Amino acid sequence: MAVLHARSQNKKAAVVSNPSIVIAVGALAMHATLVTRANGVWASVHSFAADGAGSDSADPYLRIISLFNDGAAGIEVMVYLIITCLFGCFILRNLLKNQSNQLKRDGRVSMREGSPIISTSLMIAVLIIGLFSGSVLLLLLTLGLMTLIVEGDSDESNPVWIFSGVAMYLFASWSWMASLSEAILGMAVFLLPWVLSTPKETEAIGIDRLLRPRSQNMFVRTIPWFGAMGYLGLTWMLLTAEIDGTSLEAHEVFGAPFIAALAIGLMVYSWGIKSNGRIGLFVIFGAMLISITSGLLSNGIDLPGDPDSYLTDELSRGQVAGFLLALIVFSIPPSIGEMLRVIKKSRASSSSIVPTRWSKPNLRAVGSSIAHVGILFLLFGHVLTTTLVDRTDPSHLVTLVKDQPVEHAGHVLTFTGLEIIESSDPDYDYSIADGIVKFHVDVSDENGKYIDTVTPGILRFDTPSGAVIPRSEVDRMARLTGDLMFILDIQQANRVITNMMLGEIDDVDRVGVTVYDLKGSHMVWFGWFFLLLGGSFATFSRRDLFSATTD
């Protein structure tokens, strides 16, 4: 998202930094491989590289280093880590080179050259805070950002690097990576160069500037740029704190401000620079007020899922969802209106220039407007199916005894039997595993009318050592209101595998199934479809592959 929106910043620095962000894509892809393969560090169904014998360190990267002596598997994960670090070095080198060239062109000197004592003190302070926090990630990221600051202009520190450092310590505090005192001290260290820098003579940001439509649009155009990198940094910080257990609640709570900012940004962007700035500012504050009110009064709103379940000691899922849904609902109509206006304008302009073809810039604008609508629909579905659904709530678990109907989630469920399918069987539909056990569950409405049959199952993986590894296979029932998901819990899977090995599979007369009623899940797929469609239009805008006939 940051790469795609670099040119919309109207700043040369954003475009110049794009190669570094592109390199970061490769670095994070390699890091994702590291996370999924390093067993014993992060739990993952894809892990295979180690035997789970990592160190007891609270830092995941120190655990990875401890796996180095674990034969070929340890070397493999170390290679992933080294490649990721090399990518990070390339990113820092590219940014430093850009800064150095800019200083030479402007005839200025860096902070390291102009104030060596202050520069050294700042680097040492960041190093000490990072070491005390015990987090390798926080140490390396803050050292890299401080290096960019001390190698930057001595008279005018780059506010992007300064406030990025402040954000890193804030996220570290949120993710329990650093204590509150360490985070506050780190923020103060990064704010010090900004305080000491020479004030730049710029136009004051007053209420008159906020009322200008052009200023509002310039501000919202920075949201995809800074919001994407900020959300990425937050997610990365939380990931390092989740080596002993995932905290989806933290992602929902701390990610909510980013989603809210994105919804507001798309709302304002849809109005365009010709709109009335006073009305725009009034609508923004009005939407925020209504959203906050919706969150506070969420108990009186009939929300699906588990709105009464708490994400934190003070915030419920319904409160967070009510706040976000109001903003997203406010943003969807103007975004759809903008999409229709862009399509109409593009067809009109193309018909006057090239009768049988949309122009390339117009296709890019059409694709962007379609993608923006897709993002909002995706976020709408996300709040309904993720923010509002407590995956740990035992109320979603139901035990089905064979041939005995059980009412659950507004449906009547009946476990009718199971079947075993080996991988050699022609009816085996999977390209993995050595077999599957399918549980047949009939789904009826509350009046007993049959609707469908679902078959959640358990995949069986046979290992050379003779051990059998089970994995639950999900099934779903699609409805107009959303999907009804059926998942077998891991304890049920282990019991069934044991019965299979003992030849007692016919004795299985009950099954434990987790059922999620995901109302609004179609919005997620609808949003993804619009995103893919808009992305395709933007891609074809650079080729002579797309044409549209006009009347």
Q: What is the DSSP letter of 514?
A: E
Number of H helices, E strands in the chain: 18, 10
Q: Which residue has the tokens 């199934």?
A: 513
Q: How confident is the model at residue 51 (pLDDT cuts 50, 70, 90)?
A: very low
Q: What is the pLDDT of residue 521?
A: 93
Tens digit of pLDDT for each residue in 387-397?
A: 999 988 888 98
Q: What is the pLDDT of residue 144?
A: 93
Residue 447 lies in a domain: yes
Buried b (16+ CB within 10 A) or exposed e, 398-421: bebeeeeeeebeebbbbbeebeeb
Q: How confident is the model at residue 108 (pLDDT cuts 50, 70, 90)?
A: confident
* 530: exposed, middle or buried (Cβ count in 10 Å: 0-12, 13-18, 19+): buried
Q: How confident is the model at residue 200 (pLDDT cuts 50, 70, 90)?
A: low
Average confidence (pLDDT) over 171-180 = 88
pLDDT of 50 over the 60 cut? no
Q: How confident is the model at residue 210 (pLDDT cuts 50, 70, 90)?
A: low
Tens digit of pLDDT for each residue in 431-457?
A: 888 888 888 999 998 888 999 999 998
Average confidence (pLDDT) over 408-419 = 89
Structure-model confidence comparison of residues 196 and 169, the more confident one: 169
Q: What is the pLDDT of residue 275?
A: 60
pLDDT of 40 over the 60 cut? no
Residue 37 lies in a domain: yes
Residue 153 lies in a domain: no
CA–CA dist 361, 365 (Å, integer)? 6
CA–CA dist 487, 175 (Å, integer)? 30
Q: What is the pLDDT of residue 549?
A: 37
Instruction: Tell me which of 488, 508, 528 is where a domain ends.
Output: 508
Buried b (16+ CB within 10 A) or exposed e, 241-257: bbbeeeebbbbbbbbbe
Q: What is the pLDDT of residue 546?
A: 39
Q: How confident is the model at residue 83 (pLDDT cuts 50, 70, 90)?
A: very high
Residue 265 lies in a domain: no
Q: Is residue 420 within 8 Å of residue 277, measured between CB atoms? A: no
- Residue 331: which of 381, 270, 275 has the closest Cα? 270
pLDDT of 288 over the 70 cut? yes
Residue 451 lies in a domain: yes
Q: What is the pLDDT of residue 551?
A: 37
Q: What is the pLDDT of residue 547?
A: 42
Q: What is the pLDDT of residue 44?
A: 53
Structure-model confidence comparison of residues 468 and 260, the more confident one: 260
Instruction: Tell me which of 69, 88, 107 is where a domain ends.
Output: 107
Q: What is the pLDDT of residue 53?
A: 47
Task: Give the pair of three-digit tokens for residue 361.
Answer: 């810039």
Average confidence (pLDDT) over 27-49 = 70
Tens digit of pLDDT for each residue in 467-511?
A: 777 888 899 999 888 999 999 876 766 777 777 666 666 677 888
Q: What is the pLDDT of residue 120?
A: 93
Q: What is the mean pLDDT of the chain?
A: 82
Q: How confident is the model at residue 49 (pLDDT cuts 50, 70, 90)?
A: very low
Instruction: Tell me which of 107, 125, 151 is where a domain ends.
Output: 107
CA–CA dist 20, 14 (Å, integer)? 10
Average confidence (pLDDT) over 519-544 = 82
Q: How confident is the model at residue 189 (pLDDT cuts 50, 70, 90)?
A: very high
Q: How confident is the model at residue 65 (pLDDT cuts 50, 70, 90)?
A: confident
Tens digit of pLDDT for each residue in 309-368?
A: 988 888 899 999 999 999 999 899 989 988 998 888 877 665 554 444 555 567 888 888
Strands (E) across 96-219 are located at none
Q: What is the pLDDT of residue 350?
A: 56
Q: What pTM was estimated for this model as a whole?
A: 0.80
Q: Is residue 144 within 8 Å of residue 88, measured between CB atoms? A: yes
Q: How confident is the model at residue 78 (pLDDT cuts 50, 70, 90)?
A: confident
- Residue 443: which of 407, 480, 417 has the closest Cα? 407
Average confidence (pLDDT) over 273-280 = 63
pLDDT of 274 over the 70 cut? no
Task: Give the pair of three-digit tokens for residue 80.
Answer: 């992933």
pLDDT of 155 over the 90 cut? no
pLDDT of 548 over the 90 cut? no
- Domain limits at 491? 403-508
Strands (E) across 55-145 are located at none
Identify the bridge partners of residue 461 per DSSP, sorted by sequence position: 469
Average confidence (pLDDT) over 106-111 = 87
Q: What is the pLDDT of residue 328?
A: 93
Domains held by the chain: number: 2
Task: Give the pair of three-digit tokens for residue 503.
Answer: 């030849």
Q: What is the pLDDT of residue 544?
A: 43
Residue 257 lies in a domain: no
Q: How confident is the model at residue 198 (pLDDT cuts 50, 70, 90)?
A: low
pLDDT of 257 over the 50 cut? yes
Average confidence (pLDDT) over 113-140 = 92
CA–CA dist 41, 302 (Å, integer)? 41
Q: What is the DSSP letter of 356?
A: T
Residue 66 lies in a domain: yes
Tens digit of pLDDT for each residue in 361-373?
A: 678 888 888 999 9
Backbone angles phi, psi at 467, to 5 degrees: -75, 150
Residue 97 lies in a domain: yes
